[in-house]
Amino acid sequence: MNQVDYLRISLIDRCNFRCQYCMPEGAELDYILKQNLLTDTELLTLITEIFIPLGFTRFRLTGGEPLLRPNVVELVNKIASLPQTQDLSMTTNAFLLAPMAQSLYDAGLHRLNISLDSLVSHTFDQIIGNRGQGRWQAVWEGIQEAYKVGFNPLKLNVVVIPGVNDHEVLDLAALTLDKQWHVRFIEFMPIGNGDLFGDRGWISSEELRQRIRNRWGLVESKVPGNGPADVFQIPQAKGTLGFISQMSECFCDRCNRMRLSADGCLRPCLLNETGQIDLKTALRDGVSTAKLREQVRGLLAIKPEINFKQRESGTATGVYTRTMSQIGG
């Protein structure tokens, strides 16, 4: 088991997109009320007094869409300025990124993962929901601006949905040929939209690799990844291709992360709801950070026993009560 030193922090559960795999069309979502979100002060208290003393040194800011969080640039700067922060990154849909890219970079954020599920505008709109018409161009401009100001390499995340965007795998892989961009293909999961998953299913990473192998060839990359992706490279390409195979291959033994929701629930595993700790409520009730730190230490101790393949242990009912956007991805 890897050392768990990586915390994914959801800054907000709201999003300006409604991606099919994250928030089902027509579903009623109970967004977290502003007063129930972790404040900047509470979040920094948890980071400095609980997570850093337990060995966490790498932090990823997620959502919803993290760029919707008020004062996000200032918060980035405060986390980046902590001497123990070895790596700070963000996952964004990039719709708001172009005018913010320089400020975020200057604040100390030097790594971005950008969701880009299609290179075709109408397919992109289909994936991100009815509210998304015409938004592909803004996302693409955000990607280009981020690259221009210094976010290099960039990571582009692609959730592969059969019959929707899987025919674009080769076009998306080709983005790595001439730029130091890292494209990550992610197997579609049952969280967020179980009905769509049941209808469409998923495509294994190995099948995607074979498609790419047949077109260009494929070799294992010497560029290491920070997470569960198996990293490959098209021969002579400047960038890399990663495959996150949470459905076809169990990588629990390599998991090095926990997830903190926007309302302060610490989740030991993406697909495990039963073991989470409500840190925000405890903090507001006056529980000492020393006691909370011991509770988190206990959760870390049992994390190796939590295996998402054992789905009966993930929830009490077998149904996930939070969508991917509410968990933080």
Q: What average pLDDT score do residues 99-128 get?
A: 95
Cβ burial of 14 (10 Å; 0-12, 13-18, 19+) is middle
Q: What average pLDDT score do residues 268-294 get?
A: 89
| Residue among 288, 255, 253, 261 nearest 277 (CA) | 261
Q: What average pLDDT score do residues 34-42 get?
A: 93
pLDDT of residue 256: 86
Residue 160 within a domain? yes
Residue 281 within a domain? yes
| pLDDT of 28 over the 70 cut | no
Domain hosting 156: range is 6-327
pLDDT of residue 195: 62
| pLDDT of 316 over the 50 cut | no
pLDDT of residue 318: 47
Q: What average pLDDT score do residues 115-135 get?
A: 86
pTM: 0.89
Q: What average pLDDT score do residues 136-146 get?
A: 97
Q: What average pLDDT score do residues 283-299 get?
A: 97
Question: Could you tell me what percent of the chain has a pLDDT over 90?
Answer: 64
Residue 218 within a domain? yes
pLDDT of residue 305: 74
pLDDT of residue 35: 87
pLDDT tens profile 170-228: 999 999 999 999 999 998 876 655 565 555 568 899 999 999 999 999 999 887 666 67
Residue 85 CA, distance from chain mean position: 19
pLDDT of residue 322: 52
Residue 158 within a domain? yes
Residue 64 within a domain? yes
What is the domain-level CATH number for residue 227? 3.20.20.70
pLDDT tens profile 45-103: 999 999 999 999 999 999 999 999 999 999 999 999 999 999 999 999 999 999 999 99
Categorize the per-residue pLDDT at 312 as very low, low, confident or very high, splitting at 50, 70 and 90: very low
Residue 53 within a domain? yes
**What's the number of domains the chain is made of?**
1
Residue 276 within a domain? yes
pLDDT of residue 147: 96
Residue 1 within a domain? no
Cα→Cα distances 60→133, 153, 161, 168, Å: 28, 16, 25, 28
